[in-house]
Amino acid sequence: MAKFKETSMPAIFQNQAEKLGDKACVAYKKGGKYVDISWTEMNRMIHDLAYYLLSLGVKKNDKIALFSPNRWEWWVASQATLSIGAVSVPIYATNSSEECKYIIENSDSRLCFAGTEDHLNRVLKVKSKLKKLKNLVIFDEYNKKQKGVITLSEAFKIGQGYKRKNDFEKRLAAIKPGDISTLIYTSGTTGNPKGVMLTHSNFVSDAKNVYGEVKDYMSDEDVLLSFLPLSHSLEMTCGYYISILIGSKVAFAEDISKLMENFQEVRPTIIISVPRIYEKVHAGILAKVADGSGVKKAIFRWANKMAAKNLPYECKNKERSGLFAFQYNLADKLVFSKLKQAIGLDQLHFAISGGGPLSVSDAEFFIGMGIKILEGFGLTETTPVTHFNRNGNIKPGTVGHPIPETKVKISDEGELLIKGPQVMKGYYKNPTATKEAFTRDGYFRTGDIAVIDEEGFLKITGRIKDIIVTAGGKNISPQNIENSLKTSPFVEQAAIIGDRRKYLAALIIPAFDSLKKWAKRHNVDFSGNKDLIEKPEVQKLIAGEIEKYTKQYARVEQIRKFKILDAEWTQETGELTPTQKVKRRVIDSKYAKEIESLYPADAD
C-alpha cells in the first residue's frame, strides 16, 4: 500500500521512490557521457535539502525562488521545497537581474536557489534591494566566501545534521490539495509578469488527466529528454510531473545549442517541445537536402509525396496496405529512417507540441514520416493542459479535444473559456486581475480566439490582445499569417504590422543559413547580413515567398510591403519572452522608424 495519500506531487514522488528504488530516475551529462541517478539517491538528496530548509525555519507557504537551467539539482530543490509545504517560485534561467528582482520581490521569496555562478551573480547584483531574501544556495561548486551564500553540497551536510527527521513526513502529510504549490510568473508580453498561483490539486489533476489519455503508449521504460525550461508550465507538468507519475527516466539536455547532439546520445522515446524547435529541425533538414545532389533531391521529393499520402494513416493509426504500403516502406528505408537516426529520433514513440501554434506544414512533415506530434493547448493559468490531439486521432492545424473534467465554451465574442480542476487559484497579491480573469459563472477567460469544428477539435485563431484592427475596421489575427510566413525555408521570424493602418506590412527576419546558401548558388555576392538583405535578388526572393505562403488569405489580409531586418530577435535583445513569444510593443517601439518607412504619406 502507498505510504502517502497521492494528493500532491511530492507525495507521489515519495511513493514512486519507495517502489522504484535503484531504477534510474534522471540522467545528466558528466565527463562526456550520460550518468544515471536512481530514485533512492534522488530521494536521499531531497530529504537532506528539505532538512536544511527546515533548519532555517522555513514554514508552510514560505516562498523559495529557483533560478537555474534544467538539471537534476532543479528537481531536488523543487521537491525539497514542496515536500515541506513551502511554495516554489521558478525563474527562467535566461532572465536578467532586474527580471529576477521583480519576481523575487513580488513573490516575497526568502531563499533563492541559483544554478551557476552567473545566475548567483545576477541575484547578488540586486540582493541589497531584496529585504526579504536572506539565503542563497548555489548548485555549482563555489569557492568564494560570500555572506548568506552556500553551495548545495554544504546545504546537504547541514541538512544531514538536522535532528527532527520526522518533520519531513509530518509536513508532507499536512499538505492540503488546495494549498499553493507553485507561483509561475507569466512571460509579460504586455506588462509586468503576474504570479500565477497553482495548487497541488491543479498539478495532480492535470498530470493524471493527461496521463490517463496516453497511458497505453507510455511506461516506466520511456526516456524523456528535458530541454524546455522547467520554469515553463508545459515542461513542469508534462516533462517533470507526468514522468514522476509514470516512473520514466528523464535525461537533461546540456543546453539548446547542444540539443541535436543530446538527441543522438539519449535517443529519447518522448519529447516535449515548443514549435520553434520543430521549425528549426524541419528547416535544417530542408537546408541539407538543398545542398544534396540532384538524385538525392529527387528521392527526397518522392519520399515527401509518400509522407503526404501517409498522413491519414498516421493520424488515425490506420494500417497501410497494398502498393502504398510497399512504397511507404521503401521511402522509410531510403529516407525517413535515415533522417530519424541522423537527428536521434529513431526511438521516438511520440512528440508533444505546445506553448504556441505549430504550423500545419511542420506538423504534416513530421507526422507523415512517422514522427507523431500531438499538438496541444493550455496556459500557465491552466497548469497548463486543457486540450491535445490524441494518438490515433490527430488533426493537424488543431489542438485536439479537451482532457477529462475540462469544460469548454466559446463566448459571443469568440473567446475560449475554460473551467476545470486545473484552473489556477488566482494571481498572487492581485485580486483585481484575478477577478477580471473569470466570467461571472466561473469560467477562466483565456484571451484566445477559438472555434470548435464539427468533430469537436479546437482551433485557436489568435490572441484578443494581438488582434489588428485596420483603418478600414477589419479585424485580423497576425499570428496565423506569421505562422504561414515561417513555413518558408527562407523566413526565420516575422511580425505583421497594420493596427489602425490602411494595409498590412511585415517585418521579416530571414533564415540566414538558408539565405546565404541560396545566394551562393545564385552567384549573389555579399559581405555580411546587412549587405545581403539589401540585394535586389534577395528582396525579390522574399517578396515571392511572402506571396507564395500567404496566397490563401483574403485580400485585406495580404501583405503589401515588407522590411527585411539583419538580426534575429532574442530574449537578450528584448523582442522575445522567455517562452519565445514576440513582444509586440517592443517591436513597435524598437522598429518604429522601419515601420513608418512602410507607410509613406502618399500610400493608398
Average pLDDT over residues 218-234: 95
Percent of the chain with pLDDT over 70: 99
For residue 62, the model assigns a pLDDT of: 98
pLDDT in tens, 40-51: 999 999 999 999
What whole-number distance in Å separates Cα of residue 176 and Cα of residue 363? 40
Contact indicator for 455, 329 with CB cutoff of 8 Å: no
Side chain identity, residue 504: L
In tens, the pLDDT along 544-572 reads 999 999 999 999 999 999 999 999 998 88
Look at residue 484 and give its three-state secondary structure. Answer: helix
- Give the number of other Cβ atoms within 10 Å of residue 399's Cβ: 26
> Tell me, what's the pLDDT at 60?
97
Cα–Cα distance, 116 to 140 (Å, whole number): 6
Q: Is 150 helix (H, G, I), strand (E, B) or coil?
A: strand
pLDDT above 90: residue 251: yes
Query: Which set of grid coordinates corresponds to residue 279?
Result: 521549425
- 539 pLDDT band, cuts 50/70/90, is very high
Evaluated on CA atoms 467, 470, 473, 477, the torsion sign reads: negative
- The full set of domain ranges for the chain reads 467-597
**In 3D, which of 72, 112, 110 has the Cα closest to residue 91?**
112
Count of other CB atoms within 10 angstroms of residue 467: 15
CB 220 within 8 A of CB 257: no
| Distance between CA atoms of residues 502 and 541, nearest Å | 25
CATH number at 467-597: 3.30.300.30
Taking only the tens place, the pLDDT of each residue in 118-142 is 999 999 999 999 999 999 999 999 9
- Provide the residue type at 135 as one letter: N
In this model, does residue 287 exceed pLDDT 90? no
- Calculate the average pLDDT of the chain: 94
| pLDDT at site 328 | 97
Please give the Cα distance from 27 to 591 (Å, whole number).
44
**3-state helix, strand and coil shares in percent for the chain, rounded to the nearest 5:** 40, 20, 35
Give which of 362, 393, 399, 359 is closest to 378, Cα–Cα.
399
Q: How high is the pLDDT of residue 2?
A: 66
pLDDT over 70 at 486, yes or no: yes
Name the pLDDT band for 603 (thresholds 50, 70, 90). low
Q: Which of 60, 381, 406 is nearest to 197 (CA)?
A: 381
Global pTM value: 0.90
pLDDT single digits (tens) 70-120: 999 999 999 999 999 999 999 999 999 999 999 999 999 999 999 999 999
Q: Which three-class secondary structure string do you get for 417-468?
A: EEECCCCCCEECCCHHHHHHCECCCCCEEEEEEEEECCCCCEEEEEEHHHCE
Q: What is the pLDDT of residues 305-336, one digit of tens each?
A: 999 999 999 999 999 999 999 999 999 999 99
Res 260 pLDDT > 60: yes
Whether 153 shows a pLDDT value over 70: the answer reads yes
Angle at which helices 275-290 and 360-368 cross, to 10°: 70
**Is residue 372 a contact partner of residue 290, using CB atoms and an 8 Å limit?**
no
Q: Is the peptide bond before 384 cis (omega within 30 degrees of 0)?
A: yes
Give the closest residue to 413 by CA, choosing from 465, 341, 453: 465
Separation of alpha carbons 366 and 91, rounded Å = 32
Residue 481's SS3 state is helix
Cell 466561473 appears where? 442
> Which regions of 155-299 does DSSP assign to beta strands (E)?
180-185, 195-199, 223-226, 249-252, 270-273
Per-residue pLDDT at 368 exceeds 60? yes
